[in-house]
């Protein structure tokens, strides 16, 4: 399965992928992604900006990730290791529930890191919902280190903010 940039012609399929991922999170009592976020506007912006990449299965998109330099204002209070370099962020890494456990998240993460290095970034930051133990393990197992926690409105739990230096 090859990783490719997601185009606007794929918008409807991306909405379907996120709907199914959100439903699975809901089954697990994980309120990380609800109706408020991520939403249609977020996905459309990612695609229009050319920052969403994914893996397409036989008929559908099975995994996606967004890579850009948009950081939360809440990151300013954290102790990051990379304070001088060019920083980017991984957002909205999602794998279809039926495809989870097959290494697609890791594959997308490594692709994002490769892309970031090629674009001159020196580190990647991400935040992940504190109750999403599988995602936290994925990032830790791939060299991401915890920089602190942030809170977002309308969320029960905080988010673990992580960083990986690329140099």
Q: What does the pLDDT look like over 19-63, one tens digit per residue? A: 999 999 989 888 888 778 899 999 999 999 999 999 998 889 999
Decide yes or no: CATH 3.40.630.30 for domain 3-165.
Answer: yes
Q: Would you state the pLDDT for residue 33?
A: 85
Q: Would you state the pLDDT for residue 37?
A: 86
| pLDDT level of residue 156 (50, 70, 90 thresholds) | confident
Residue-wise pLDDT for 55-111, tens only, equals 998 889 999 999 999 999 999 999 999 999 999 999 999 999 999 999 999 999 999
Do residues 150 and 161 lie in contact, with contact meaning Cβ atoms separated by under 8 Å?
Answer: yes
Spans of all domains in the chain: 3-165
From 24-38, 113-127, 149-163, the region with the lowest mean pLDDT: 24-38
Distance between CA atoms of residues 143 and 70, nearest Å: 21
Q: Mean per-residue pLDDT for 107-133?
A: 96
The torsion defined by the Cα of 160, 94, 84 and 86, in degrees rounded to 10, comes to -170
Residue 115 has pLDDT above 90, yes or no: yes
- Mean pLDDT over all residues of the chain? 94
Do residues 157 and 129 lie in contact, with contact meaning Cβ atoms separated by under 8 Å?
Answer: yes
Percent of the chain residues topping a pLDDT of 90: 83
Distance between CA atoms of residues 45 and 42, nearest Å: 5
Sign of CA dihedral 132, 136, 141, 142: positive
pTM, rounded to two decimals? 0.93
The set of residues, in sequence order, having a beta carbon less than 8 Å from that of 66 and lying 6+ positions away, is 46, 51, 52, 53, 90, 91, 92, 93
Which one, of 76, 150, 162, lies nearest residue 124 by Cα?
162
- The alpha carbon of residue 55 and the mean position of all alpha carbons in its chain are separated, in whole angstroms, by 14
């Amino acid at each position: 399965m090859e990783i490719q940039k997601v185009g606007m012609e794929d918008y409807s399929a991306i909405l379907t992928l996120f709907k199914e991922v959100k439903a699975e999170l809901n089954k697990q009592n994980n309120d990380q992604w609800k109706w408020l976020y991520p939403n249609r506007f977020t996905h459309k912006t990612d695609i229009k900006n050319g920052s969403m990449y994914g893996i397409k299965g036989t008929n559908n998109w099975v995994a996606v990730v967004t890579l850009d330099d948009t950081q939360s204002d809440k990151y300013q209070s954290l102790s990051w290791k990379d304070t001088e370099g060019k920083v980017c962020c991984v957002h909205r890494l999602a794998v279809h529930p039926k495809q989870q456990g097959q290494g697609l998240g890791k594959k997308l993460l490594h692709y994002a890191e490769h892309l970031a290095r090629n674009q001159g970034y020196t580190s990647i930051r991400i935040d992940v919902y504190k109750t999403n133990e599988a995602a936290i393990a994925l990032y830790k197992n791939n060299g991401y280190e915890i920089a602190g926690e942030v809170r977002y409105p309308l969320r029960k739990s905080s988010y673990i903010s992580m960083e990986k230096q690329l140099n």
